[in-house]
Amino acid sequence: MKLIIQIPCHNEEGTLPETLADLPREVAGFDKVEWLIINDGSTDRTVEVAREHGVDHIIELSHNQGLAAAFMTGLEASLARGADVVVNTDGDNQYDASGIPDLTAPIIRGEAQIVVGERPISAIEHFSPVKRALQHLGSWVVRKASGTKIGDAPSGFRAIHRDAAMQLYVFDRYTYTLETIIQAGRLGIPIKSVPIQINDPTRESRLIKSVRSYVWRSSKTILRIAVLYNPFRFLAILSLIMLIPGIVAFARFLVFFLMGQGDGNIQSLIIGAAFIAAGVVTLVGGLIADLIAANRVLSADIRSRLLRLELSQLPKSK
C-alpha cells in the first residue's frame, strides 16, 4: 500500500519548511509514504524549498489556476504514481499532520473511501463569529445536498482512496472542499469525518481576504452548489414564489370580473399573467437544468472510466 501526501502550493516558501517538517514518512498500514506538491504558478522559491526538503514529486502548473485546479491535478498525479490513498493538506501548515494516521485508518479498515478532518470550529480563537457561522452554514447546506454527515465540509485536510479519487471532478475554480463531498454523497462513495487539531495560523488566509469577501464567495459557492446539484428543486421553489402572487393577482381580477368590475382591475390581470408566465418558464428551466445535471453525472462517469483505462496502461509504480 502506498500513501501520497499532496500539498497544493502557491508562494509557500515561508511556510512550506515547517509543513514538510511535520509530515510523516511512516504511517500505519502503508508500506511507502511519499510527498507530492503541486506548484500552482508560484513566483517565489517554493519549488526549490520543496526539493531541499526531500519532496518526492513536484508537479508544475504553467500559471496560477486556483486551489481547486491544483487539488485535481494533484489527485491525478498521485494516482499516476501508484497511490492507493491520497492525503491532501495545506502548505501553510494549518492542519496538525499528526492526525494523518487518524484520517487514513477508516480507509484501511474499509469503513470509508473518503475521510474528512473535522476541525473544532467553535473553539478556534482566530475565527471571527461571522466566519464560524458561515462554516457551520456551509457544512449544513452540504449535508442537506449530499445526504452525508460531514461536520466540517470546508476542511481541506482529508484522505481519499484510489477508487474514490477516480470518480471525483471539481467544477468550481474557487474551492474543491464542498463540491467533492456532495459528489461523494450522490455517487454513494462511503464518507465519514474524524476529529483533527489545527496549528496556530502562520499567515493570513489567501482565500479569505476580508469578511465581506468571505461572505460573498461562500454565499456564491453555496448558491452554486444548490443550483448545480439540485437544480429542479431550487428552480421549482423559485417558480412557486412567482406563481403564488401571480395566481392571487389573477384570482383578484377574476373576482372583480365576475362582479362586473373587470375594466377597472385590468392591472391585476396583467401582473398575474406576468408572474404566472415567469413561474412557468422558471419551472421549465428547472426541468431542463435537471436533464443537464443528469448529463453531467454521465460525463463524470465517462471521465472516471477513461481515467481508469489510462492509469491501467501506465507502468506499475513500485
| 199-243 pLDDT, tens digit each | 887 666 655 556 677 677 767 777 777 777 778 888 999 999 999
CA angle 103, 181, 131 (to 5 degrees): 85
The percentage of residues in the chain with a pLDDT greater than 70, rounded to a whole number, is 93
Distance of CA 315 to the CA centre of its chain: 31
Poorest-pLDDT segment among 50-54, 145-149, 155-159, 271-275: 145-149
**What's the mean per-residue pLDDT of the chain?**
88
Average pLDDT on 287-309 reads: 84
Helix axes 266-312, 211-229, angle to 10 degrees: 90
Average pLDDT on 21-45 reads: 95
Helix axes 211-229, 177-187, angle to 10 degrees: 20
pLDDT attached to residue 210 = 63
Average pLDDT on 123-150 reads: 83
303 pLDDT tier (thresholds 50, 70, 90): confident
Distance from C-alpha of 57 to C-alpha of 218, rounded to nearest angstrom: 32
pLDDT at residue 318 is higher than 60? no
For 163-241, where are the E strands, in sequence order?
191-195
pTM for the model stands at: 0.80
Name the residue type at position 25: R
pLDDT attached to residue 124 = 80
Question: CB-based burial of residue 218 (10 Å sphere; 0-12 exposed, 13-18 middle, 19+ buried)?
Answer: buried
262 pLDDT tier (thresholds 50, 70, 90): low
- C-alpha cell of residue 268: 391585476
- C-alpha cell of residue 121: 470550529
Average pLDDT on 74-83 reads: 94
